[in-house]
Structure 1
Amino acid sequence: MKMNLPNKLTVLRLILVPVIMIVGMLPYIPFLISCFLVAFLFILTAVTDMLDGKIARKRGLITDFGKFLDPVADKFMVIGTLFVILFKPEFNHIKSLIIFSLVFIVFRELAVTSMRLVVSTGEGIVIAANSLGKIKTVSQIVAIATTLLEPVVQHVFARATGLTWDGNILPLTYLTLIFSIVMTVWSGISYIKSYWKYLDPEK
């Protein structure tokens, strides 16, 4: 199958996910440098998400393949990077929040993906991302980027001002992660309510 440019960008996003995970888990890279590198790769990967949708709409290249694969690539990008954060002992003080994020995201995505497959197979309807789903994805991207970059920014600021750096105080990380959890649950409920009518329990 010949893929158009938006679909190629989506596939590229999938390819970049293991790169992020490998770089983030290399033991010999110092914590702050690792956070910066992972954040850079993660944001670069997230930009492909923004570009593929924009190009697809502008050039009329929206396909069922793209509608299905795009949110799948988003899931791998977010979940893979959260596992990198969970892997780092320096983030142990927010481990419970990261685990909560992963649990809610995985359960939400399993429910929505299962519904996508059932509705697509039974009714021939491809469920594309709605506005809440897009806000959810953006909130997760912002939360992960903040989690990775806040320690780096704090350290740079502390060195510039001569203040003591305490890597355990990450207020923006807490706020953005909690907001992303709320949006994850909310958007999941919205999807299920919208497409529940297409599920036939007798099939």
Structure 2
Amino acid sequence: MSVNPQAPLLNIANALTVLRIVLVPVFIALLVIDAESSGAGALQPLESGEGLWRWAAAVVFFAAMVTDAVDGDVARKRNLITDFGKIADPIADKLLIGAALVMLSLLGELPWLVTILILIREIGITVLRFVMLRTQVMPASRGGKLKTLLQTAGLQLMLLPLAVIAGWLADVAFWIMMAALVVTVVTGIDYLVQALRLRRAAKGAH
């Protein structure tokens, strides 16, 4: 994905990326308000007027993930790929996913071990790709799309007031997150292997 030097910094793709970043504190605030109004981690029935903040947080998360799906397509189709977009887009993704993971762990709904392992992988590989970007482009991991899909689906389900909808969905959400954890770790190892191969190839070329 090459940068278009003629693409203006202020374009629709970059605007969507910035919007996703702006939505992160809004998302966090909604979860905090919900926790304070109903008790941390508690899911109250909608009939009592509680749980609406949790629904709002889930909607904001969904809207933010939609911008993630749209901004890349818009940038490619309209040739609006910029240096800012290439840096800001993955950062926006990690901020949103990271916020959801940490908040769910703070609420006692997701084991901290899952959050810590996913965050270590996401932050570590993002830094690695930025470092490698100076000399070489690392191709996307083979399981990258599956990893993102599982993380997004699992977090979206966990963010819903599942006790209001159907209790069994909580189990489904948990096991999707477990699958996401496995794929996240495996793809992280795959990235490290790719980086080592690229480094060896570069040394061999010299």
Scaled by the length of structure 2, what TM-score is found?
A: 0.77
Gaps of 5+ in 1: 158-166
Aligned counterpart for 2:164 among listed residues 151, 155, 161: 155
Tell me the residue number matched to 1:174.
174
**For 1:58 and 1:17, how far apart are their aligned partners in 2?**
26
Higher-helix-fraction structure: 1
**For 1:75 and 1:128, how far apart are their aligned partners in 2?**
18
**For 1:181 and 1:156, how far apart are their aligned partners in 2?**
25
AA partner of residue 174 (structure 1): F
Report the aligned-residue RMSD. Answer: 2.6
AA partner of residue 170 (structure 1): A
Pick closer, same or farther for the CA change 1:82–1:190 going to 2, 3 Å: same
Tell me the residue number matched to 2:100.
81
Q: How does 1:27-66 map to 2 (within 5 A)?
A: 27-30=35-38, 31=43, 32-66=51-85
> Does the CA-based 8 Å contact 2:17-2:68 persist in structure 1?
yes
**For 1:10 and 1:129, how far apart are their aligned partners in 2?**
19
Q: CA deviation at 1:59?
A: 1.4
- Percent identical residues: 31
Q: CA deviation at 1:182?
A: 1.3
Tell me the residue number matched to 1:18.
25
- The question of 1:134 aligning with 2:153 is answered no
Aligned counterpart for 1:110 among listed residues 119, 123, 130: 123
Scaled by the length of structure 1, what TM-score is found?
A: 0.78
**For 1:14 and 1:87, how far apart are their aligned partners in 2?**
21
AA partner of residue 23 (structure 2): L
Tell me the residue number matched to 2:195.
195
Aligned counterpart for 2:133 among listed residues 114, 120, 128: 120
Q: CA deviation at 1:3?
A: 2.9
- Report the number of matched residues: 183
AA partner of residue 191 (structure 1): Y
Relative to structure 2, which stretch is displaced further, 141-150 or 57-66? 57-66
